[in-house]
Amino acid sequence: MNSYHLKVVTSEEVAALRGIAIQTFREAFEVENAKKAFEKYLNDKMSLDHLQSELDNRYSTFYFLQKGEEIVGYLKVNIEDAQTEKKLKNALEVERIYLLTKYRGKGVGNLLMDKAVALAKEMGKDKLWLGVWEDNPSSIKFYQKFGFKIFDKHTFMLGDEEQLDFLMKLEL
């Protein structure tokens, strides 16, 4: 895994962030979802303006996972007011963790999750949490491998379509 490295995404890299965000989201979810709702989500939540506002939030941080110069995945973590739910105290949220399909199942995703765990510990957080689509068994299994357990549910809006996410947490 030596050829992989993580780096903080800067405002100047918003276009690259948009590229990897759209590509990985399409690879992960496009075939299972209604085209209209899917495209609305991409247009709303992955626009340059929306991503720039997320990059500008001091309570959110994005990381690129790179193999050489190629961006192969990314991670977005939130604390404080940037968290999508305020159900847990002293917690770090993993809002997004995505890899290109060709890198899945090879242990590469562990680098992203290990970074999230390390960040939470560095910040003195005692919990790490995330939301995962109920119809995404491979990701649920990945998180369970790290010790995450389902503790609640919430609605995720994919465009105009309601979906159910399991909320999972890891006690640190």
What is the tens place of the pLDDT at every residue in 55-91?
999 999 999 999 999 999 999 999 999 999 988 999 9
What is the tens place of the pLDDT at every residue in 127-161?
999 999 999 999 999 999 999 999 999 999 999 99
Helices (H), the chain: 14-29, 35-45, 48-56, 109-122, 137-145
- Residues with Cβ < 8 Å from 108, sequence gap 6 or more? 1, 4, 65, 72, 73, 99
Q: How far apart are the first and last CA of the chain?
A: 25
Q: Is the pLDDT of residue 2 over 80?
A: no
Count up the domains in the chain and report the number.
1
Q: Enter the pTM of the model.
A: 0.95
Residues pairing with 167 in the sheet: 131, 152
Q: 64 lies in which domain range? A: 4-171
Q: Which CATH number belongs to the domain containing residue 86 in this structure?
A: 3.40.630.30
- Say what percent of the chain tops pLDDT 90: 97
Distance CA 41, CA 113 (A): 25
- Find tokens 């995330």 and name the residue: 130
Q: What share of the chain is helix, strand, coil (3-state, %, to 5)?
A: 40, 35, 25
Query: Catalytic residue numbers?
Result: 143
Taking only Cα atoms into account, the Rg of the chain, rounded to an integer number of angstroms, comes to 15
Q: How would DSSP label each residue in 98-110?
A: EE-GGGTTTTTHH
